[in-house]
Structure 1
């Protein structure tokens, strides 16, 4: 038998090429809604507080859709900024931009379209909220680069993820004055204190997220809160959770919210205790699971807020 008569070994079928839509949905993490839910719950809770109850369908739609769009746009920018780092991390190496399936220019174009759609929604509110949206966009663009120079870049993310709170108060209570000087009157001190409290929640869950990639981040030189806190990372996460729950509990109590609000805070606190059991051994799976379940902590606080405003 000569070589030509030996049947060739069939080659395995190559995976079918993915559509652009499929790649774009992967780019914006469409199959992982936990990311935008982390932004949505505190924003909607603030919207209910600002409106002293149901804020109306218009503002509810604006802030819900705007949150999804801006988180998606932020993913596009983040993947472009981190492409060279992500290729060295197993969990992120196959992201569309990192793998080369989507070019950086294409990703930025998708992000720009999403951001413009979000801005179009903001234009239906009022001038102070429009001005605040510009600041929110600037902080969102800044975050991906903060991890190169800031020891705890999660604090920058905390501001970005919490900026919907003052925007919610501005959209409800702000007027039609285009002067920048009108912004302080449109956003009461309560909104800024809620932002600070929520920032601690972001520090908690994003430190859990950073604990997943700590070994890879140390190799490639990225700064994160998990690396900065070192062996005090678990204690730091729990302190951040505590600061968030105590501050939001006190601020809600100061507003005169009913005991159902504090029940929501208590439900969130019980989940935090569960999260401790997941992260205390610092396993990748445990820390990642705790991060992914964090949106239920925010939902508990939001649900307590909404129920407190229901007619008795």
Structure 2
């Protein structure tokens, strides 16, 4: 590769970069006002589709198409990407009459894409075109046309797909957002398709999934001696003892903080029992509460453990802040 420029000019690099961003920003600002009933019709077509959105595109449009398919799928619209060249050699069998094909081509004259458009039309598949040429072959085959034209590319040669692919990406996002809203898509729905992400963990992890129960709990009776209560606290490593009756009803808790306050008062601890020193109104959550709600309760009350109880006060377990951290809820 030859070049007439032999030295790097940092100021020119900054100038070119800013100009590219300016061109792409202008392309996006011009895109919004052009949205009209054609866009609304495309949204309706996808919304009423009983199959999937099959996204197709060649070259850079194909890369954008893969991203659009992923965005649609993660926001409640089943979608997948099919490469047009592969479609001509068997992959067209993935497309059914229930599907909507979203075809991307800035010129609207991609040979590989145009080769399969007549077949899709014969199958009765709804075609939504995203193109910069309203009179192109792609637009003429389409049921609905999304106008993605740009005045110029950010490339100084006006050749490399830059502003045009930015416009395609943004228009794909606009389509996904409009569909998301029309479907009444909620954060919980988003979390279900992102179970490995932080939002998924926050909205899908319940207290019952993380709580400690049974022998892991430092439970004592109200008449337990102070010494035995301290042994139970040390053995379970939760920083507290849970005082319960014979029916596992919670009577109170005794925490490390309570111990420090007793020592500061100089009280004779040997003569005390659990019932004498417990706090009678410990913080509680239900097992079906979200783990993130337990985290919020801990933060508000400045504590590190919350009891998990039935509505009648029966102890089911306890959740420690370390459990939330280990599960990456916080």
TM-score by length of 2: 0.23
Larger helix fraction of residues: 1
Q: Which structure ranks higher in relative contact order (CA pairs < 8 Å, sequence separation ≥ 6)? A: 1
Larger Rg: 2
